[in-house]
Amino acid sequence: MTEKDKVNKYCFDTSTLIGSWRQYYRPSVFGELWVRIGELIKNGTIIIPEEVKKEIGTGKDDLAIWLKQYHHYIAPISIEQIEIVKEIVNKYPAVSQYRKPRPFHADPFVVALAKINSCTVVSEEKGSNNKDNPRIGDLCKEYKIDHCSTAEFFEREGWKFNIK
């Protein structure tokens, strides 16, 4: 298999979906983009952890409604994922952030799922170099997981947007 034939697999963080939907690539303008993302969720190229679905479900816009149509494709929490999450949270207790008002925090679950499935994490969060409370970019680096932004994801997939 050549590099060109290689199929990339991506694990989307909440920040990617929320930032894209609400700010950068609103469905009213980029409707076809969301159709394509949905197709990649269905074919397994994009995986969405259950905790990301829960974070999005606390929102008050129609992103949660859009995501519900893909509920059969959401990756359930596995024992293997829990083991990696436990390792991350034990090493970095602040990463769990369960003391904050929101009941869910997907970052360790995104990292764990990406590690298990050899995925690239797609997130708008960069590294912080904070050794007590690392961000998703720091965790990806530590766990040797590829990490990119949404725009980099588009480039890697060879997507081009044309104005009609």
- Whether 161 is in a domain gets the answer no
pLDDT, tens digit (0-9, with 9 covering 90-100), for 50-108: 999 998 988 778 999 999 999 999 999 999 999 999 999 889 887 776 555 555 678 99
**CATH value at residue 128:** 3.40.50
Instruction: List, in order, residues 6 or more apart from 159 with CB less than 8 Å away.
Output: 36
Predicted confidence at residue 1, as pLDDT, reads 43
Total number of domains constituting the chain: 1
Helix ranges (H only) for 43-106 are 50-57, 63-68, 79-91
- Whether 5 is in a domain gets the answer no
pTM value? 0.89
Full domain range(s) for residue 31 = 12-156
- Whether 52 is in a domain gets the answer yes
- Whether 7 is in a domain gets the answer no
Number of neighbouring beta carbons within 10 Å of residue 119: 20
Residue 156, token pair as written in the block: 């890697």
- Whether 92 is in a domain gets the answer yes
- Whether 109 is in a domain gets the answer yes
pLDDT, tens digit (0-9, with 9 covering 90-100), for 135-161: 899 999 999 999 999 999 999 999 988
- Whether 103 is in a domain gets the answer yes
Number of neighbouring beta carbons within 10 Å of residue 98: 11
Amino acid at 136: I
